[in-house]
Amino acid sequence: MRPKRIAAAALAAGILSAGLALAQDKDSTSRQIERYREALADGNPAELWEARGESLWKEKRGPKAASLERCDLGLGPGVVKGAYTVLPKYFADTGKVEDLESRLVTCMVALQGFTPEQAKKDPFGGPGKKVPMDALVAYIASESRGMPMHVSIANPKEREAYELGRQIFFYRGGPHDFACASCHGAEGKRIRLQDLPNLTNPADARRAYTTWPAYRVSQGEVRSMQWRLNDCFRQQRFPELEFTSPASIALSLYLARTAEGGVMDAPAIKR
């Protein structure tokens, strides 16, 4: 029996060292991606969106020729500093839980006189297509840089949205029988070379949530949280997540709440 046991031990040691080598490879890949991000962070083109967003915020636009400077983003009319850290939240004037994008739509309608359809028409930019929404989002998020996330679930509507968001996160469906949790509900998952955050774990959720919106180098665009969720739904082959829909806001609130205390560092830069 003795030689067998030695062989088994050797085999186990072999597996162990192979495992270690694999772990080291994976670490160095992650490290290289980290270095790539650091190198890019110095010249983050999101700054161009922030500058455009700031002038859009102050520009008189729409049928009422009004600016957004009196828009209440959750901390009172016109307060931009820190507003991103409390969103999504319940707003008494609309009786709804709203995230940044839906709140901007509300303000564009109420203050500037756009129709909801006009305000929601071009939610995401593309090649040769500059849209106001992602620039405004970049500017407003940048004004919360260095501040901790702190969303409320004290209001019954907020509580309801949080629970709904959590259910959506774990809901399996579509032709691939997928849920958000399939990729983001366990440790050590990857897509190609990218480590995927486990969004049920607060440390990962903080790191992920606080770096959106972000400039995507591969797309040359600043992408908002609404875009991120919309594209996750596309990747899952779910029905399209409608821009500023209650489902998208609920999911965002669930993620924001899990990231509670995470320090905002957006717009970040991503591959």
Q: Which parts of this chain interact with another protein (CB under 8 A)?
A: 42-45, 47-48, 51-52, 127-128, 217, 220
Residue number, 128 or 146, with CB nearest to another protein: 128
- The three-point CA angle 147-189-15 to 5° equals 130
Residue 180 a catalytic site member? no
CB of 215 to another protein, least distance (A): 8
Instruction: CB nearer to another protein: give 42 or 93.
Output: 42
Give backbone dihedrals phi and psi of 90, rounded to 5 degrees, phi first: -80, 135
Tell me whether residue 103 or residue 270 sits nearer to another protein (CB atom): 270
Taking the complex as a whole, the smallest distance from the CB of residue 229 to another protein amounts, in Å, to 24
Based on the number of CB atoms within 10 Å of its own CB, is 16 exposed (0-12), middle (13-18) or buried (19 or more)?
exposed
Cα pseudo-dihedral 164, 267, 87, 84, rounded to 10:
170
User: Helix, strand, coil proportions of the chain in percent (round to 5)?
Assistant: 50, 10, 40
Shortest distance, position 220 Cβ to another protein, whole Å:
4
Residues paired with 215 in a beta bridge: 222, 269
Catalytic residue IDs: 232
